């Protein structure tokens, strides 16, 4: 009888372990693609940026928003070198501004769904445009390509369904970290400790998409080799045009 009970206990533990492993796998490969994309171009050397950084942090908590912080380096000359700034972030902002008909770059700048350029601290206007884009996405249900985005070990599986479209689009994959705290020792924000959210660490141009079904397997090494908290995929008209579809992958 004791042997029988011991076997039951062993089987119970095995079942619990198996269920836990399945749940971990599901959480590890969770993707959300019915989302509004909000991109903030910011700098640790910009004294107008903290309100926009805080707003991005609030937006980052919403499941149907992909909020991304792109750090730029053109304020470094003011006395503090931004610790997250990358040339790729500046290049992306410049391309956006050219596409949107802007004469130059500035911070804090928010680009929503690849369509709208807004001063990132204008809270009410940001929420208004996000709400409008959310409605548009809901109305387009079934009218845009489906993205599958899964993580298996150190490999990322990306799929884009076939979809009729004119022209071409760019596939971007972005690696980002949820939260970073910086003790700023110089520049316009000297002696402040600032918190940054969904900090972009790597941006990768994967290729062009012209409406055909695509299935790709990429290693984390292909995406910069770093260990990031999460990934996002953006499908954009041409290079930095309106967002056609997007997904975020939580690790």
Provide the CATH number for the domain around residue 221.
2.60.40.2150
Residue 64 inside a domain? The answer is: yes
CA 192 and chain centroid, separation: 26
Q: Is residue 202 part of a domain?
A: yes
Q: Measure the CA–CA gap between 130 and 127, rounded to whole angstroms.
A: 5
User: 187 lies in which domain range?
Assistant: 35-250
Average the pLDDT over 43-69 and give the result. Answer: 97
CA dist 215 → 20, 146, 147, 148, 157 (Å)? 29, 12, 10, 9, 7
Range name among 23-37, 110-124, 198-212 with the lowest pLDDT average:
23-37
- Beta strand 243-250 with 230-237 is antiparallel
Is residue 129 over pLDDT 60? yes
- Given pLDDT bands bounded at 50, 70 and 90, which one contains residue 225? confident
Question: Could you give the percent of the chain with pLDDT greater than 90?
Answer: 75
CB burial of residue 67 (10 Å; 0-12, 13-18, 19+): buried
Higher pLDDT, 25 or 67: 67
Ramachandran angles phi, psi of 241, nearest 5°: -85, -165
Distance CA 37, CA 126 (A): 12
Task: Answer yes or no: is 16 within a domain.
Answer: no
- Does residue 30 form part of some domain? no
Torsion of CA 22, 25, 27, 33, to 10 degrees: -120
CA 209, 210, 212 angle in degrees (round to 5)?
Answer: 90
What was the pLDDT predicted at 31?
61
Looking at the chain, the whole-number percentage of residues with pLDDT higher than 70 is 87
Residue 135 to residue 146: CA distance in whole angstroms:
18
Q: Please check whether residue 190 lies inside any domain of the structure.
A: yes
Residue listed under structure tokens 């004791």: 2
pLDDT tens digits for 146-183?
999 998 888 899 999 999 888 899 999 999 999 999 99
Say if 8 falls within a structural domain: no
Q: Is residue 245, in this structure, part of any structural domain at all?
A: yes
Name the CA radius of gyration of the chain, rounded.
Answer: 21
Domain count, the chain: 1
What is the average pLDDT across 27-39?
72
Q: Is 90 exceeded by the pLDDT of residue 143? A: no
Is 1 a member of any domain? no
The mean pLDDT value for 57-63 works out to 97
């Amino acid at each position: 009888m004791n042997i029988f009970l011991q076997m039951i206990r062993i089987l119970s533990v095995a079942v619990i372990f198996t269920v836990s492993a399945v749940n971990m796998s599901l959480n590890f490969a969770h993707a959300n693609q019915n989302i509004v994309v909000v991109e903030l171009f910011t700098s640790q050397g910009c004294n107008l940026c903290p309100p926009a950084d805080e707003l991005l942090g609030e937006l980052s908590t919403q499941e149907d928003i992909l909020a991304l912080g792109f750090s730029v380096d053109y304020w470094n000359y003011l006395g503090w070198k931004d610790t997250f700034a990358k040339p790729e972030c500046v290049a992306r902002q410049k391309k956006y501004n050219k596409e949107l008909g802007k004469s130059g770059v500035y911070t804090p700048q928010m680009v929503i769904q690849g369509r709208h350029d807004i001063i990132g601290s204008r809270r009410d206007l940001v929420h208004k445009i996000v709400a409008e884009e959310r409605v548009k996405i809901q109305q387009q249900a079934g009218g845009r390509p489906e993205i599958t985005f899964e993580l298996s070990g150190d490999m990322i599986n990306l799929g884009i369904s076939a979809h009729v479209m004119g022209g071409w689009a760019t596939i971007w994959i972005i690696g980002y970290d949820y939260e970073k705290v910086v003790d700023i020792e110089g520049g316009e924000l000297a002696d402040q400790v600032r918190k940054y959210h969904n900090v972009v660490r790597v941006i990768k141009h994967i290729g062009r998409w012209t409406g055909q079904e695509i299935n790709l397997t990429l290693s984390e090494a292909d995406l910069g080799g770093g260990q990031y908290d999460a990934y996002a995929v953006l499908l954009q008209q041409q290079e930095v045009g309106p967002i056609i579809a997007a997904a975020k992958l939580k690790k």
